[in-house]
Amino acid sequence: MPRFSPCGENRIGLRHKVRAPPMSFPLRQRLREGNPVEFGATYDGSGVNFAVFSANATAVDICLFDQDGKTETDRIRLPEYTDQVFHGWIPDLHPGQLYGLRVHGAYEPEAGHRFNPNKLLLDPYARGHLGNLEWNPALFGYQLGHPDLDLSFDEQDSAPFIPKCIIPPPSERKNKPLKIRWSDTVIYETHVKGFTQNNPLVPDNLRGTYAGLCHHSVLDYIKSLGVSSIELLPIQSFVNPQSLIEKGLTNYWGYNTIGFFSPDTRYAANHTDPAAEFREMVARYHDANLEVIMDVVYNHTAEGNELGPTLSFKGLDNASYYRLIPDNFRYYINDTGTGNTFNLNTLHVIQFVADSLRYWAEEMGVDGFRFDLGSILAREKNGFDRQAGFLRVCRQDPTLAHLKLIAEPWDIGPGGYQVGNFPPSWAEWNDQFRDTVRDFWRGEARAAALAPRILGSPDLFNHSGRQAWASVNFITAHDGFTLKDCVSYNNKHNDTNGEDGKDGSDNNRSCNYGTEGPTDDKSINALRWRQCRNMLATLLFSQGTPMLLAGDEFGRTQNGNNNAYCQDNDISWVNWKTEEEGESLKTFTQRMLSLRKRFPILRRSRFLTEAYNKELDIKELTWISANGMEMMQEEWDHAQCFGLMLDGRAQPSGIRQRGEDATLFMVLNSWTDSVEFTLPEADGGAWKLLLDTNRPNAGDDIEKDIFEQKIDFTVTDRSVLLFELLRS
Q: Which residues form the catalytic set?
A: 372, 408
Query: What phi and psi, each to the nearest 5 degrees, are found at residue 443?
Result: 85, 20
Residue 33 CA to residue 631 CA, distance in Å, equals 75
Q: Residue 622 forms beta bridges with which residues?
A: 645
Residue 491 CA to residue 147 CA, distance in Å, equals 43
User: Helices 347-362 and 313-321 meet at what angle, rounded to 10?
Assistant: 120
Neighbours of 8 (CB within 10 A): 11
For residue 390, count CB atoms less than 10 angstroms from its CB and return exposed for 0-12, middle for 13-18, buried for 19 or more. Answer: buried
Residue 170 CA to residue 152 CA, distance in Å, equals 42
Residue 346 CA to residue 351 CA, distance in Å, equals 9
For residue 92, which amino acid is it?
D
Q: Cβ contacts of residue 238 below 8 Å, gap of 6+?
A: 251, 254, 255, 256, 257, 258, 259, 264, 302
Residue 128 CA to residue 272 CA, distance in Å, equals 9
Quick check: 32 and 89 in contact, CB under 8 A?
yes
Residue 493 CA to residue 313 CA, distance in Å, equals 37
Structure letter (DSSP) for residue 288 = T
Go through 442-467 and write b for each residue having 16 or more CB atoms within 10 A of its CB, e for each that does not.
Answer: beebbbebbbbbbbbbbebbbeeebb
Ordered DSSP codes for 134-177: ---GGGSSS-TT-TTGGGS------GGGS-EEEPPPSP------
For residue 430, which amino acid is it?
N
Nearest by Cα to 175 from 268, 39, 293, 281? 281
Q: Check residue 419 and give left, alpha or beta (phi > 0: left; psi -120 to 50: alpha).
A: beta
Residue 652 Cα distances to 462, 617, 644, angstroms: 16, 15, 18
State how beta strands 229-232 and 291-296 pair: parallel
CA 460 to chain centre: 21
